[in-house]
Amino acid sequence: MTVARTFLELDDSYAREVPGLSMPWTAAPVPEPTLLVLNEELAAELGVDPAALREPAGVALLVGHGLPDGVRPVAQAYAGHQFGGYVPRLGDGRALLLGEVIDVEGRRRDVHLKGSGRTPFARGGDGKAAVGPMLREYLIGEAMHGLGIPTTRALSVVATGERVLRETALPGAVLCRIAASHLRVGTFQYAAATGDRDLLRALADHAVARHYPDAADAANRYLELYRRVVEAQARLVARWMLVGFVHGVMNTDNTTISGETIDYGPCAFMDAFDPATVFSSIDHGGRYAYGNQPGIAQWNLARLGETLLPLIDENTDGAVEAATAVLGEFADVYARSWDEGMAAKLGLPAPAPELVTDLLELLRAQRVDFTNFFRSLSAGTARTLFGEPEPFDAWAARRDVLLPADRAGVAAAMDRVNPAYIPRNHLVEEALTAATAGDLAPFERLLDVVLSPFTERPGLQEYAQPAPSGGAPHVTYCGT
């Protein structure tokens, strides 16, 4: 049986071009690898035969074993601000970059393992991951993909046959993650802290070549790199906000240079609209609450800008001035993405920021389900979601005069941007609990639902309902 061909052609441009930011390392032994879920569509995108990945040799590859000669996995170094505090050495404590594949569209993509054992960056950790959190990452990443939001995606989750010790002993797993790259703001922080300007430049050149190749032609390519990342992150976070997504751990090591969403830990989609929504049990101050996300993204990007200063201009004052101006563009790009996105959600031909502000205040005051509001607005049933409908009626009358005449066309367009199904947190928890106990059926059903979020299907009403508790945020403890 031919083992997945593309996996035989793993490249290592990162390790080659940016030496000093990764360490060769091998995956821990896996006593009893069992494939729990395989992303066949993604495998095909990578040019890999899904059937081959299901063979024992394929499953071995998905946990980092039986790699072809010459493939040298690495643990990547990075630093990061975690909840605002700087940690100079984080890195892949339980993860490995197997290498890069060129997908069927010619794009270079990282093949990365999570839960593959301790590395020199493990600090106190055991290097392992549990089935529940790895399936969560798989599921939420696919939901984001279904929504059209840039994201890393899981190729597979393989159970290891080991128990990992968390609050209790849990079944272990290894996730295989595909990403445009694993370059993070924290990677730049780590490189900058070495004081080695050549290393920092090599990293920045690698990032430009990989993600923003035309930035190489700009008068100041490093300033242009910064601008591109600022724009990509501003657009990304606007997309999160438009679907009610709360990332939960927006540390600088979880902020990508590519503009993809990465690291699905204690994240969730909110039910009732409330900017103060937090899901992470460790986020005591609400630093990463829904409503704080744009500000935090900009703060993280300021940290990126600091690392790039010596490349932007030899003259520090000049560099600070130029970088500050670029960071200032965040607010405009974010506002534009949000305003246009909201106009589309409301079926309006042009942004109406005041109408949006007033709507959000109404939703918050009456704890209306964010997702269902927009979906029922196109169906003409939104009024029923309000305990006290009069303020909504007044708001709806203001919207009405802005709508184009073709109401059916408006409704259809709205249904293409307003999901009927998001991964409701109570259903995610239920699915992960069942999977941890050995029953994957609820997970598979939920995955199928969220992969086509805009298409309403009969029999799926329960997937469109907020938590029976009335939407009190469901706190996630099993982030890792």
Q: Mind telling me the catalytic residues? A: 253
> Taking CB within 5 to 8 Å according to partner kind, which of ligand AMP, Mg ion, none is near residue 28?
none
Closest to Mg ion by CB, 254 vs 371, is 254
Closest to ligand AMP by CB, 372 vs 480, is 480
> Which parts of 322-341 interact with Mg ion (CB under 5 A)?
none
> Taking CB within 5 to 8 Å according to partner kind, which of Mg ion, ligand AMP, none is near residue 424?
none
List, in order, residues 6 or more apart from 351 with CB less than 8 Å away: 339, 340, 342, 343
> Taking CB within 5 to 8 Å according to partner kind, which of Mg ion, ligand AMP, none is near residue 90?
ligand AMP
Closest to Mg ion by CB, 254 vs 280, is 254
Give the shortest CB-75-to-ligand AMP separation in angstroms.
Answer: 9
> Taking CB within 5 to 8 Å according to partner kind, which of ligand AMP, Mg ion, none is near residue 122?
ligand AMP
The verdict on whether residue 177 carries a ligand-binding annotation is: yes
> Taking CB within 5 to 8 Å according to partner kind, which of ligand AMP, Mg ion, none is near residue 126?
ligand AMP
Q: Does 92 bind Mg ion (CB under 5 A)?
A: no
The verdict on whether residue 93 carries a ligand-binding annotation is: yes
> Which parts of 260-299 interact with Mg ion (CB under 5 A)?
263
The verdict on whether residue 16 carries a ligand-binding annotation is: no
Closest to ligand AMP by CB, 112 vs 128, is 128
Closest to ligand AMP by CB, 182 vs 345, is 182
The verdict on whether residue 317 carries a ligand-binding annotation is: no
Print the SS3 string covering the chain. Answer: CCCCHHHHHCECHHHHHCCCCEEECCCCCCCCCEEEEECHHHHHHCCCCHHHHHCHHHHHHCCCCCCCCCCCCEEECCCEEECCEEECCCCCCCEEEEEEEECCCCCEEEEEEECCCCCCCCCCCCCCCEHHHHHHHHHHHHHHHHCCCCECEEEEEEEEEEEEECCCEEEEEEEEEEECCCCEHHHHHHHHHCCCHHHHHHHHHHHHHHHCHHHHHCCCHHHHHHHHHHHHHHHHHHHHHHHCEECCCCCHHHCECCCCECCCCCCEECCECCCCCCCECCCCCCCCCHHHHHHHHHHHHHHHHHHHHHHHCCCHHHHHHHHHHHHHHHHHHHHHHHHHHHHHHHCCCCCCHHHHHHHHHHHHHCCCEHHHHHHHHHHCCHHHHCCCCHHHHHHHHHHHCCCCCCHHHHHHHHHCCCCCCCCCHHHHHHHHHHHHCCCCHHHHHHHHHHHCCCCCCCCCHHHHCCCCCCCCCCCECCCC
The verdict on whether residue 5 carries a ligand-binding annotation is: no
Closest to ligand AMP by CB, 300 vs 371, is 300
Give the shortest CB-254-to-ligand AMP separation in angstroms.
Answer: 5
Pick the binder of Mg ion from 254, 378, 436, 480 (CB under 5 A): 254
> Taking CB within 5 to 8 Å according to partner kind, which of Mg ion, ligand AMP, none is near residue 226?
none
Look up residue 474 and give its two tokens: 């469901």
Residue nearest to ligand AMP (CB): 125
Which positions lie near ligand AMP, rule CB under 6 A?
A: 90-95, 121-122, 125-128, 249, 253-254, 263, 265, 480
Whether 76 and 182 have beta carbons less than 8 Å apart is answered as yes
Closest to Mg ion by CB, 371 vs 476, is 476
Q: Give the span between the Cα atoms of 243 and 241, in whole angstroms.
A: 5
The verdict on whether residue 303 carries a ligand-binding annotation is: no
Give the shortest CB-141-to-Mg ion separation in angstroms.
Answer: 14
The verdict on whether residue 221 carries a ligand-binding annotation is: no
The verdict on whether residue 91 carries a ligand-binding annotation is: yes
> Taking CB within 5 to 8 Å according to partner kind, which of ligand AMP, Mg ion, none is near residue 125?
ligand AMP
Q: Give the span between the Cα atoms of 187 and 208, in whole angstroms.
A: 14
Give the shortest CB-474-to-Mg ion separation in angstroms.
Answer: 22
Q: Which stretch binds Mg ion (CB under 5 A): 40-48, 246-254, 272-280, 332-340?
A: 246-254
Annotated binding site for ATP: 91, 93-94, 114, 126-127, 177, 184, 263
Q: Which residues bind Mg ion (CB under 5 A)?
A: 254, 263
Annotated binding site for Mg(2+): 254, 263
